[in-house]
Amino acid sequence: MDLQYKEGINNGRIGGVKRTDLALRLLALVLTLTAAVVLGVNKQTTTVAITLSPSLPPVKLPVTAKWHYMSAFVYFVIVNAVACAYTALSLVLTLATKGGKKNVSSMVVIFDLLMVVLLFSAIGATGAVGLIGYEGNSHVEWQKVCHVLDKFCHRVMTAMGLSFIGSVAYLLLIVFAVINAYKRL
């Protein structure tokens, strides 16, 4: 078993780590970083025209939306930042140990799973809150805000989409790790 493993060391590997593993980790790093940044600098100021009475011209009120006004968005940015930092750390670790140490690779799989859970939950929360902002909720009298703050909502959706692809990358990392482990069984 050991001899077979040593023969396949340069087979589809860069520096001892599998090519797909490396590519997925880089993709996840870039995507989570971008998602955190896109939502972290999200800000929009527009004006809303309100007619107080028919005789007077409509009054323009400034409306500001910042990302930290909503707790779900704060959670999203934090989770994506943590995922990005963890990916950088795991990239460094797997390249440093050349994919050889069993302890490091099993710990990396365990924490990859944690990242999947956190990222999926962040996307779910942002999606739910974004949906309320998009459609409102007539039963509880929560008005929709996306018809006024359209650029803000578009950036939220972009960040969500990027983070979703990043979390799928983490999922694939776990799937490939398990498949490779079964191949060696």
Partner 1 sequence: MSSFDAIIPTQANAVKSSGSPPEYKSSTKKFEVFDAALRVLLFATALVAIIVMATSKQTKVFTLLPGMTVLVVAKFDQSPAFIYFVAALSVACLYSIITVVLSILASMKKGGDTSNLHFYFMMFDVLLLGIVASATSAAGGVAYIGLKGNSHTGWAKICNVYGSFCFHVAASIVLSLISSITLLLLVWLSIYVLFKKITRR
Residue 71: which residues within 8 A CB-CB, separation 6 or more?
Answer: none
What angle in degrees, to the nearest 10, is found between the helix axes of 150-183 and 19-40?
160
Asked if residue 104 binds partner 1 (CB under 8 A), the reply is no
Name the one range near partner 1 by CB under 8 A: 38-46, 80-88, 101-109, 154-162: 101-109
16 or 127: whose CB is closer to partner 1? Answer: 127
Distance of CA 85 to the CA centre of its chain: 12
> Which pair of tokens denotes residue 131?
């949906």
Nearest CA among 145, 116, 118 for reference residue 133: 145
Asked if residue 183 binds partner 1 (CB under 8 A), the reply is yes
Name the one range near partner 1 by CB under 8 A: 37-45, 80-88, 90-98, 111-119: 111-119
Residues forming beta bridges with residue 17, ordered by sequence position: 14
Q: Enumerate binding residues for partner 1 (CB under 8 A).
A: 1, 65, 69-72, 75, 102, 106, 109-110, 113-114, 116-118, 120-129, 131-133, 137, 139-143, 145, 167, 171, 174-175, 178-179, 181-185
